Structure 1
Amino acid sequence: MAHPRIFRLIFWLGLMGVVLPAALQPQESPFIPEKLARVMNNEISGDKAYNYVRLLTPYHRIMGSRAFVEAADMLAGLARSFGLVNVRVVKQKYEGGISWDPVSAELWLVEPDEIKLADFEDVAVSLAVWSRSAHVTAELVDIGPASAPGDFAGSDVAGKVVLTTAPPSLAIKNAVWERGALGVVSSATIHPASRFDAPDQVGYIKVPASRPEGKAAPWAFMISARQNGELQDILRKAKSEGRSVKVKADIETKIHEPAEQAYLWGELPGSEIHDQDIVLTAHLDEEKTSANDNGSGCADILEIGRAIQALVRAGRIPQPKRDIVFWWPNEHWSEYQYFRENPDETKTMLANINLDMVGARQSLGSRVQHIIRTPYSIPSYLSDVIESIAEYVILSNTGFLAAEEAGTPQPFSKPILSFLGSRERFNALIIPFSDGSDHDVFCERMIGIPGVALINSPDPYFHTSDDDLPNIDPTQLKRNAFIAAAAALFVANAGDDDVPLLANEVYSRALQRLGRDLNTALAHIHGKRAGDSALSYFEARNLVEQALAREVEALESILIFAKPGGASASLVKQRARRIEGLAPGLVAELDAAYLSLSGEKRPPAPAPTPEEKEMAARVPVNIDSLDEYFRRRGLGTAWPGLHPIMARECFGFVDGRRSFLDIYRAVHAEALSAGEFYYGKVTMEAVKGLLEDALGKDVLKLK
């Protein structure tokens, strides 16, 4: 029988999935009043942002390169002219690669005909990043995928250049370093379908930054799938005629030691608070052109800075209370290095909003803008702020027939459009945490700054020669800048008076999320998805219990804005206790589902296994030094049998209170909540193995 209290909540709040769909909710957000929305819509310019992208595209701004610094200097000049202060380009130690500058590179077919195959000046990505200088004329041989010894059967590649569909790093290992080939010509790409959909696309890929002692300096040219096919035809014809095919490669590059990277930094100072910065990030590194990834993000945060400063100077909005920082890093590496060198700075940053690939013309490549929430290891009000504002933009820039019949202006009720942009709808989704950009760093447990992100996916153009201005839409640049700017301004100004509004929003959205998790838990029991009824029940119950803890923590994150001991703080704590009070009713729903399915008289009682008891007795803590932590652990967290984000979350849940078993349960619930399709499966064995490995590396220690 359903618990009466939870039944009432389900009825009134629609926790069983009968919540009002977003399209039927008012097209507004409490975090951006309509007057402010109009002011920002009029000031933020997608056309200006597009022009900043245009200025960036000529720079082959590879991490650690001189061109990166030149691009940063160019943006720094614009930032200063717009009124940002403390604008500076800062050089750092770089452990993620080498400081490499391409000078020139050409690849020619010289026999049986003379045909230019690649030229760095024409297509910058045709020279694989970190390729070393080389001047060779040699026979070309086709080794196909170059992934197995059989690919080399009957082929003597020593002293020759190999043609392959494999990534250059694999071909260099198998053909150059193991079999004596001179270099590589590759048609590899991270977009396998491009050989059909975009056969002239050239991939942007690296060769190894270092080489084993005594091995040849690596180099590779990148060509399109069409060129690969044409060269294969030439090779087949030459073979039938008993002739060889030769290519000539001329490459000039420079390597600078020690390796350095750089970042660009600027600020809009707050009027009151200077130790709770709101940090907008957009990584500056990428290949020449690279308009969406991430010229778009770089341009958008610059435009946000310009627009906010212009509105403040014009008296249209007050100066934000907190400092807003604009940070253009070398993706991931700059932030990790910065925090390793300045660990106390983690205490001066309140929130991160990351923009990466925010200018896609969405009708090209079926691209969708993802609004990414914080991971479950760092629940935060910030996720609901960005979600609410994003929903406002999505719904007011999507057409509805019923709205037209109601007399609401259509196709968009509150259009956010650029003069030279498209009139496409805003195709965006709010999604659970996803990695792959700079917000990852902020969300590390050792750094502990909630970070959200705007990133489009899928994208069949990024990291290729096709990521260029024709694929950029000034309208989408404007919409994403609007979302990020609105969120940044709200958080920058939030205080005790805003706490009730935040508490209402986080609380009501928490109830919706709990409803979805309850739905998942009930389906887990009904489908016996853990293999048997009892285990399915325990996993479902764990999901609900972890979800309750997550939502309590999200509510308590609001207390940063509340006066200690005040009425607003009391309201937040009251709402958190209400969430906790839902536990008996939610568990009763699971009990009822289990009993109905199994025919038993009572739910199964927990009976910890010896392994669970052992894991429950071990409580890991992080070592004290942030620098040593990342030096020993590394920046990646991959572990066999775990989705990389779930491996990261194993570290994320290490807080000195949770045991090995608690961490396993937290990560398992997070994966179950999002779905196996999203985060894969989480096993106790994999989590235990990862944590024990971290203990062995002195990344963690036992309490």
Structure 2
Amino acid sequence: MRTCPHPFASLVLLITLSAAAQPPTSPLGPVSPTTGLVLRDDAVRALIQESSGDRIHDGVQRLALIARDTQSGYTEAAAWTKTAAEAAGLQDVRLEPMKDGPQWRATRGELWVAGAHRYRVTSYADLPMSLAAGSGAFEGADVELVDVGTGTQEAEYAGKDLKGKVALTRGPPVAALRNAVVKRGAVGVVSSYSTPPWNLSHRMDGDFPDQVGWGLVPRSLSTPGVPAPFLFMISDRQGRELLAQLRAGPVKVDVSIATQTDTGHLSIVSGVIPGTRAGEELVLTAHLDHYKPGADDNASGSATLLELVRTYTTLIRRGVLPPPVRTLRVLWLPEFEGTREWFSLHGEEPVRRVAQFNFDMLGASLTRAHSRFQVSYTPDWNGSFVNAVSESTLAFMNRFNSVVYPPRKDFRIGSVTGSQDPMDAHMERYGRGSDHQLFNDHGIPGVAFSTWPDDGYHTSGDRPENVDPTQLHRAAFAGLASITVAAWAEGAGALELARLVALHGVRRVAEDEFRARRDLTSVPVAELPETYRLTRAAVRIAYQREREALRSCLSLGAPAAPVQAMAKALESAEAQALGRLEVDGKARGASLREASPSAAERQARTFVPRRVKGQELASFDELARKAAPEQQPRVAAVQAAITAAETALRERGEGELRFYQLPDALASYADGKRSVADIRDAAYAEYGHVFPVDALVELFGLLEQGGVMTRIR
């Protein structure tokens, strides 16, 4: 029997249908008293609960099966990524071919110890990274093996005939290739080296005796018409076994290598989640290339991008999120090389790229790999709202994930199959070393998400079992929370973001003032006047950075008047900070008056460099290698100053990646407004190190002569 619905039930149904018909609202809101984010708490929960570290780990395992450092392997990985991105809901997914160039491939590579007890040392078929990319073809039986130690010192070659033989080294393989092959006629090198110099503070050769390092035979070592040398990479244990055999008597090896170099290209995988505002984009990047397995580096970043896409498209389809205001441009590409190519193809497009988020090495198990999760700030000269967004995200994640059993389960970020490691994520001052540096060099604020260090970095130990699904989930959420603010902010939401920027700016300038006052307190009295000037410059730069970060919210649609008021408030705070600095200086009981400027100082104050358009990605190291003989003393002076700076920063406890490619980091300050003296001050603010002004004049002079810089005056 049918009954009439109750009038109250009909009213509830109408209200429910009306609510369902309402479009989803912006995920942004006022700073949450619970999370400290400018995302609504329900949006935070949605991003956590929809994303999955377990799904990402599945993608890591799939990509880690492919040798992505060859054209065939990279092409396979790119095709799989394209299909997976389309399935995840990414639109306009395409494979964009890069320029044609030489592409190396191997079909066979075996190293055997010859003799009565002949045995195979390593094989390309078993471990592709054991035969270094760029190795030449070679067939040889009973080739003598000669120990050259580290391969870096002339004394290690004294009295040794290398012609037609194979050099065994435990040092950097490129040094042995130059000294043993190019200079002395060896046919190839076998190396047990596995630790790049920027990882020496975390891992020494021999710490992991069964790891095989990643090597490369540079094309610059090949002579036209002469077969390229070969390079086999073996583990420390295998190297010591061969040394033990050499001490007992001569060792001969059989080598069988089939390689060739053809002309071809790699591709950039590109797609979008369309925004509602035309002409504005956020760029999300992960490098897809790497050796096999290359799980953390960088199958983890590539697979995480897929999960970010799937999470967003799912929440948009369900009506939890509206479409983003700004288009999300998602790129999988070869590291550095692919980013350079992408800029050459798209850098002049009439699109305002608001920010960039880079995902590289995200999933290392914090306990097994002795790692930690970190996000980099933009450089001081490129102040942006992305710093406060990233900082607030990590603070929230630490607060609710610092114990195994957090009281707020809805804010716990973990996985079904991963660890329960407590979280201890950090913001790090700007360092280079991945694709975010290229976006910053182009003026686009870029931050990098990563786990560092990693005990398996650039070795055969970078395997899926050392990647933690829980850490992957946390990295994914960190990206989602930061990107969501940047992609959806407009109007009132952009104003709330500006308030967040102002809030976190208070803490950052306080830290900068603390460092400045500490330096002023600890410096010898004789250095007080110079340090006083530098510390005043550092405080001014810190406040300028935060004003620029506030103004970056205007381009997102924040109303001008309140943002300008917040920026104005920083001016009075800056004056007070400078006053405190003056009190500290005078308390030392010595004059703060600087001596008359030297000739180098006067030259630095009048030399205003600007990078030549189209040369944003040129490096000092490349220029130095090509410098004419008469320029070598100037190059050496710059390199000596950089080495001294690296030593000082290292002894002060800074990480190696902090000063990676330091000359290029300094060159990025050249904007046509700062003099070389201003750049010296800005570099002090960023690194806390006083760079000799005469060396900086030489650096920018060499860059000018190399066509990288032009001189405004």
The 8 Å contact of residues 346 and 448 in structure 1, kept in 2 or not, is answered as no
Distance change in 2, residues 1:665/1:153 (3 Å):
same
Task: Give 1:274's match in structure 2, choosing from 260, 274, 278.
Answer: 278
Q: Does 1:235 align with 2:265?
A: no
Task: Give 1:36's match in structure 2, choosing from 43, 46, 52.
Answer: 43
Q: Distance in 1 between matches of 2:343 and 2:183?
A: 39
Corresponding residue of 1:423 = 420
The 8 Å contact of residues 162 and 175 in structure 1, kept in 2 or not, is answered as yes
Corresponding residue of 1:171 = 176
Q: Distance in 1 between matches of 2:73 and 2:181?
A: 29
Deviation at 1:166, TM superposition (A): 2.1
Q: Does 1:159 align with 2:168?
A: no
Q: Does 1:409 align with 2:416?
A: no
Q: TM-score scaled by structure 1?
A: 0.87
Unaligned runs of 5+ in 1: 1-24, 239-243
Corresponding residue of 1:208 = 218
Task: Give 2:709's match in structure 1, choosing from 684, 695, 700.
Answer: 700
Corresponding residue of 1:132 = 136
Q: Does 1:363 align with 2:367?
A: yes
Distance change in 2, residues 1:36/1:607 (3 Å):
same
Corresponding residue of 1:652 = 668
Residue correspondence of structure 1 range 280-359 to structure 2 within 5 A: 280-345=284-349, 347-359=351-363
Residue correspondence of structure 1 range 550-589 to structure 2 within 5 A: 550-562=545-557, 568-589=559-580
Corresponding residue of 1:515 = 510
Deviations 1:111-170 (A, max 9, x none): 252111001121121111211211112111111111112111222111111111122221
Q: Distance in 2 between matches of 1:535 and 1:658?
A: 19
Distance change in 2, residues 1:515/1:172 (3 Å):
same
Corresponding residue of 1:20 = none
Corresponding residue of 1:687 = 696
What amino acid is aligned across from residue 52 of structure 2 in structure 1? S
CA RMSD of aligned residues (A): 2.3
Corresponding residue of 2:484 = 489
Q: Distance in 1 between matches of 2:33 and 2:597?
A: 48
The 8 Å contact of residues 620 and 664 in structure 2, kept in 1 or not, is answered as no
Corresponding residue of 1:460 = 455
Unaligned runs of 5+ in 2: 1-31, 625-634, 643-658
Residue correspondence of structure 1 range 217-236 to structure 2 within 5 A: 217-236=228-247
The 8 Å contact of residues 422 and 474 in structure 1, kept in 2 or not, is answered as yes
Corresponding residue of 1:18 = none
Provide the secondary structure at the position in 2 that maps to 1:443.
helix
How many residue pairs align between the two structures?
Answer: 645
Residue correspondence of structure 1 range 431-510 to structure 2 within 5 A: 431-444=428-441, 447-510=442-505
What amino acid is aligned across from residue 615 of structure 1 in structure 2? A
The 8 Å contact of residues 548 and 579 in structure 1, kept in 2 or not, is answered as yes
Corresponding residue of 2:79 = 73
The 8 Å contact of residues 136 and 227 in structure 2, kept in 1 or not, is answered as no
Deviates more, 1:605-614 or 1:468-477: 605-614
Task: Give 1:52's match in structure 2, choosing from 56, 59, 64.
Answer: 59
What amino acid is aligned across from residue 649 of structure 1 in structure 2? A
Deviates more, 1:470-479 or 1:192-201: 192-201
Q: Distance in 2 between matches of 1:636 and 1:443?
A: 21
Deviations 1:577-600 (A, max 9, x none): 211222332221111111111156
Corresponding residue of 2:267 = 262
Deviation at 1:457, TM superposition (A): 1.0
Distance change in 2, residues 1:478/1:635 (3 Å):
farther
Q: Distance in 2 between matches of 1:117 and 1:227?
A: 8
What amino acid is aligned across from residue 557 of structure 2 in structure 1? A
Distance change in 2, residues 1:276/1:544 (3 Å):
same
Residue correspondence of structure 1 range 90-109 to structure 2 within 5 A: 90-93=96-99, 98-109=102-113
Distance change in 2, residues 1:172/1:667 (3 Å):
same
Q: Distance in 2 between matches of 1:574 and 1:584?
A: 16
Q: Percent of aligned positions with the same letter in both sequences?
A: 31
Q: Distance in 2 between matches of 1:314 and 1:29?
A: 26
The 8 Å contact of residues 30 and 501 in structure 1, kept in 2 or not, is answered as no
Deviations 1:51-99 (A, max 9, x none): 111111111001x62210110001111111122111111221267xx41
Corresponding residue of 1:123 = 127
Residue correspondence of structure 1 range 243-254 to structure 2 within 5 A: 244-254=250-260
Deviation at 1:460, TM superposition (A): 1.5
Q: Does 1:661 align with 2:677?
A: yes
Q: Distance in 2 between matches of 1:396 and 1:635?
A: 46
Distance change in 2, residues 1:644/1:225 (3 Å):
closer
Task: Give 1:382's match in structure 2, choosing from 379, 386, 396.
Answer: 386
Q: TM-score scaled by structure 2?
A: 0.86
Deviation at 1:548, TM superposition (A): 1.8
Deviation at 1:349, TM superposition (A): 1.7
Q: Distance in 2 between matches of 1:139 and 1:73?
A: 43
The 8 Å contact of residues 195 and 205 in structure 2, kept in 1 or not, is answered as no
Q: Distance in 2 between matches of 1:112 and 1:378?
A: 65
What amino acid is aligned across from residue 552 of structure 1 in structure 2? R
Corresponding residue of 1:4 = none
The 8 Å contact of residues 140 and 256 in structure 2, kept in 1 or not, is answered as yes
The 8 Å contact of residues 335 and 441 in structure 1, kept in 2 or not, is answered as yes
